[in-house]
Amino acid sequence: MDLPAAVQAAIILLLDEEVKVKQPEVLAGARTMKPSTQKKHGANLAGGGRNGRASGTKGERAEKTREENEKMSPILRRTKIPRTFIPQLLGFASRSIKSFRFPGEPLDSSSITYGVHVFQCPDARGIVAKLSDCIASRGGNILGADVFVPENKEVFYSRSEFIFDYVKWPRAQMEEDFMKLSRSFNATRSVVRVPDLDPKYKIAVLASKQVLSGKFLRSYEKDVINIHHGLLPSFKGGFPSKQAFDAGVKLIGATSHFVTEELDSGPIIEQMVERVTHRDNLRSFIQKSENLEKQCLAKAIKSYCELRVLPYEHNKIVVF
C-alpha cells in the first residue's frame, strides 16, 4: 500500500513508541515488587532470552531505562498506542472521502445530501452562531462557510455549504427554519438550494448584438448575463481584434457581467486575461480571445448557479 511520507513516519513513530513505553513500564513495576517476587520474575523483567538469563544487574537495567526515558520527549513518554491501532490507521489512510458518515449513521447513507445557503442581512452579533446552530440542530454538518462584512458597512454576507439527512430534515422544514432565522435578523436575502431535490436551472443562451431595452429587462424579471471581449474601449468599430493585433497588444481579456439598461455597464461577475506575443498571428490572436470569452462566461454561469453571486452596493457584487 502506497502511503504519504507523513503517514509512514507516523506509523514508524507509533510502532517504535510502543516498544519504548512498554518496557520501562514493566521495569518500573519490578521496583515496586517484594524482594521474593522480584527474584522469582527477575529473568523475565530483565528482558532476557528463553533461558531466562538476565543481561546485567538490576541497578544497571534501571539506569539504562532512566537514560532511555530522558531521551524521549514528554509527549512520547505519555503516548500509549496498542498494536491493534496500526491496522486501523492503515485502513483510515486508504479510505475514500465518500465513505465518511455521521456518527451513529448506518453504512448506507443514501439519504445524505448536499445543500447551499446564502444570507444577507444587517450586521449584528451572533449571526454565524445562529446559522451554525440552525444546521447543526437538525443533524446537519457544515462543510465550508464564507463570510464577508465590508469595511465601514453594516452589512453581513455569508455562504454555507452543508450536508444533511433529508429524511430527518425535510426540505419544507429546512425552508421554514431558514425563514425564521431570516426574520430574526431582518435579512434582505436568504436562499437555500438543494441540487438533488430542487428543480434544475433553466439557462437560455442568446447570441445577439442587439441592446436589450429597459422595457424588456423589466418584463423579463430575471437575471441576464453578458460576455464581451476586453478590447473596448480602446478598439472600437469593426474588427476590433485586427485593430488590437496591428497595434501589438500584449494582453487580451474578457468580461462577464449582468445586463442593465446601460450598455456594458452592469455589475461584473468574472474577468479573465491572457498574454499574446509576437509569435501569435491574427488567427491565433482571435482564437485566444474567443476561447477566453467562452471560459469567462462558463465561470460566471457556474458561480451564479452555485449561489456564489450576491449584490453589493449599487454596481458591485460579492462573488464567494
Residues 187 and 223 in one domain: no
Find residue 20's DSSP bridge partners.
Answer: none
Q: Are residues 229 and 271 in the same domain?
A: yes
Contacts of 87 (CB under 8 A, 6+ apart): none
- Domain membership flag for residue 288: yes
Catalytic site residue 264? yes
Residues 235 and 272 in one domain: yes
What CATH number does the domain containing 186 carry?
Answer: 3.30.70.260
Asked whether residue 201 is assigned to any structural domain, the reply reads no
Note whether 117 and 151 are same-domain residues.
yes
Question: Are 219 and 304 found together in one domain?
Answer: yes
User: What confidence score (pLDDT) does residue 318 get?
Assistant: 93
Q: What is the pLDDT of residues 68-109, one digit of tens each?
A: 655 554 444 444 444 444 444 444 344 443 444 444 444 346
CA angle 136, 142, 145 (to 5 degrees): 125
146 lies in the same domain as 187: yes
Domain for residue 103, yes or no?
Answer: no
User: What is the structure's pLDDT at 207?
Assistant: 74
Query: Is residue 69 domain-shared with residue 144, that is, in the same domain?
Result: no
Tell me whether residue 203 is in a domain: no
In the chain, the amino acid numbered 121 is C
| Intervals of the chain under pLDDT 70 | 1-109
CATH value at residue 249: 3.40.50.170
Segment 243-274, tens digit of pLDDT: 999 999 999 999 999 999 888 889 999 999 99
Determine, yes or no, domain membership for 98: no
**Strand ranges of the sheet holding 251-258, from the earlier edge strand across to the other edge:** 225-229, 251-258, 268-275
Give the structural domain span for 9.
5-93
Residue 160: all three cell numbers together: 454555507
Q: Which residue in 16, 133, 146, 264 is the catalytic one?
A: 264
Q: Is residue 207 part of a domain?
A: no
pLDDT for the residue 49: 44
Q: Are residues 186 and 240 in the same domain?
A: no
The amino acid that residue 197 corresponds to is L
Query: Is residue 300 domain-shared with residue 220, that is, in the same domain?
Result: yes
Q: Could you tell me if 117 and 178 are in contact, meaning their C-beta atoms sit under 8 angstroms apart?
A: yes
235 and 303 share one domain = yes
The count of domains in the chain is 3
CA-atom Rg of the chain in angstroms: 33
